[in-house]
Homo-oligomer: A and B are copies of this chain.
Amino acid sequence: MAPPTLTQEILNKKDFVTPNDVRWCPGCGDYAILNALQRTFPELGIPKENFVVISGIGCSSRFPYYMNTYGFHTIHGRAPTVATGVKLANPDLSVWLVTGDGDGLGIGGNHLLHALRRNINLNILLFNNRTYGLTKGQYSPTSPVGTKTKTTPMGSIDNPLNPILFALGADATFIARTIDTNPKHMIEIFKAAHRHQGISYIEIFQNCVIFNNKTWDSVYGRQSRDDHMLFLEAGKPMVYGKTERRGVAWTGGGMPELLPMNGATPEEKGILIHDPTRTDSIYAAMLAEMQYPDFPVPVGVLRQVVKPAYDTQIQQQLHAAIARNGGKGDLRQLLYGRNTWRV
């Protein structure tokens, strides 16, 4: 990423608002996410024209139309491929990909999987509302077993995907989770994603007021949020809870224990210190498995490990090849090749 030049104007949220009417349902969680991203971009020190927002199809995927940057609303499930192409063409761009639980984990699962393992330098926002919003409320790959929708009138029977575990299965280098009701947290996570070199994957709990209203309320609702979420911070002990302070202790290889703090310090209780940089996936798998209602749901950066980014490496190979050739090949070299004869 080119550093901001001196002459560059200071941007603010307004610069990222398009004149287009926003066409989500009133009350949709997407508004808050839009707002948060519009507030994040001006703070990244990147010229406005270097942002690209790319999406698939779905309510969430209307996103690019509302961000006043370059935007591409592509086709269902395939946005990661287009975003990859953009980064190959121009690695200096800051590319943000918006996808839904249906777009990203239903039809688009394979592309997400491969983008993650490739570790290309993109930021992926997965809006998880556990429903197919745009097509009017069929169940999605993240809907819990038993979800009744028009296509599953007797309740769904397939096990939902855990989006964090899925990303871990692809050995993704940056995995985070945030919620549409907490702008501050969203912005913080978006910035962390931006800083990460390689692919950044963020699950966002998002509310669909029309087809799946309050789906996350048991986790992040006003009543439950303090007791049912665990805000992770690197280097900080995992303590949470309002009604009762508790800490997460993890000794063996199973699920962690939730210990009442009873006023003790985390050290005294042996509370786990969050370390997103652990390279093996065991620790992150444990975090992924902390699910409502048995555990507080971890939000924040769950995993952040260092691996070379695909786009950087492709450039390196290009430069190495050119250097080895003693400069970029010209048309004459190309056309003549190695074996010619003269008539």
| Chain A contacts to B: CB under 8 angstroms | 107-110, 113-114, 117-119, 141, 154-155, 157-162, 165-171, 250-255, 278, 280-283, 285-286, 288-289, 307-308, 310, 313-314, 317, 320-321
Residue of A119, A161, A255 with most chain B CB atoms under a 10 A cut-off? A161
Min CB gap A150→B, angstroms: 15
How far, in whole Å, are A160 and B307 apart by their CA atoms in the complex?
12
Query: Beyond A157-B314, A161-B170: 12 further Cβ-contacts under 8 Å?
Result: A110-B113, A114-B141, A114-B158, A117-B160, A118-B158, A161-B171, A165-B169, A166-B170, A254-B280, A254-B282, A280-B289, A285-B285
Complex contact A159–B118 (CB within 8 A): yes
Q: Given contacts A110-B107, A251-B252, A282-B282, are A165 and B166 in contact (CB under 8 A)?
A: no
Residue of A161, A253, A254, A278 with most chain B CB atoms under a 10 A cut-off? A253
Q: Which residue of B lies closest to A317 (CB)?
A: B154
Complex contact B278–A289 (CB within 8 A): no
Min CB gap A151→B, angstroms: 12
In the bound complex, residues from chain B placing their C-beta under 8 Å from that of A155 are 317
In the bound complex, residues from chain B placing their C-beta under 8 Å from that of A157 are 308, 310, 313-314, 317
Complex contact B117–A141 (CB within 8 A): yes
How far, in whole Å, are A307 and B157 apart by their CA atoms in the complex?
11
In the bound complex, residues from chain B placing their C-beta under 8 Å from that of A285 are 168, 280-282, 285
In the bound complex, residues from chain B placing their C-beta under 8 Å from that of A114 are 109, 141, 158
